[in-house]
């Protein structure tokens, strides 16, 4: 295993352990924090960091949450998707950032009990699949 992959996995694992002590934020709570933009920004940044860590860790392990082993093809596809997520996370375009905020707002209206992290994970995977599908 390459050192860079090992370091990324360690980073993702550490990222998973640290936010585990924090409470998940429901979209309704996030939307109510709009009155305090600093608080809302903090909630979004923390949820984003946690979502990235959860996504990368989940994609880079050789088994599913239920303990079942992934097939070699699935492991390879997940590795490619993880690389696309990693490339995406630090470089969201203005359009992507806007799309994420719109997605959060739409989910908050329809399903206010949904966790903010889950919406971000869905967004990251969708955007990464677009990127991976383009051969990048």
Q: What is the pLDDT of residues 33-75, one digit of tens each?
A: 999 999 999 999 999 999 999 999 999 999 999 999 999 999 9
Residue 125's SS3 state is helix
pLDDT in tens, 70-110: 999 999 999 999 999 999 998 899 999 999 999 999 999 99
E strand spans, 35-93: none
DSSP 8-state assignment for residue 114: S
- Residue spans of the domains in the chain: they are 3-133
Report the number of secondary-structure helices (H) and strands (E) in the chain.
6, 0
- Give how far the C-alpha of residue 3 lies from the chain's centroid of Cα atoms, to the nearest Å: 23
């Amino acid at each position: 295993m390459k050192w860079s992959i090992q370091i990324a996995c360690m980073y993702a694992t550490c990222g998973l352990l640290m936010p585990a002590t924090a409470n998940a934020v429901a979209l309704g709570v996030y939307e109510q924090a709009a009155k305090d933009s600093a608080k809302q920004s903090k909630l979004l940044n923390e949820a984003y960091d946690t979502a990235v860590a959860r996504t990368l860790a989940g994609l880079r392990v050789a088994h599913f949450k239920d303990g079942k082993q992934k097939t070699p093809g699935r492991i390879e596809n997940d590795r490619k998707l993880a690389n696309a997520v990693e490339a995406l996370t630090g470089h969201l375009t203005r359009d992507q950032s806007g799309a994420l905020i719109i997605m959060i707002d739409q989910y908050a209206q329809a399903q206010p009990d949904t966790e903010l992290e889950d919406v971000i994970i869905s967004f990251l995977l969708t955007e990464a699949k677009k990127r991976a599908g383009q051969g990048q």
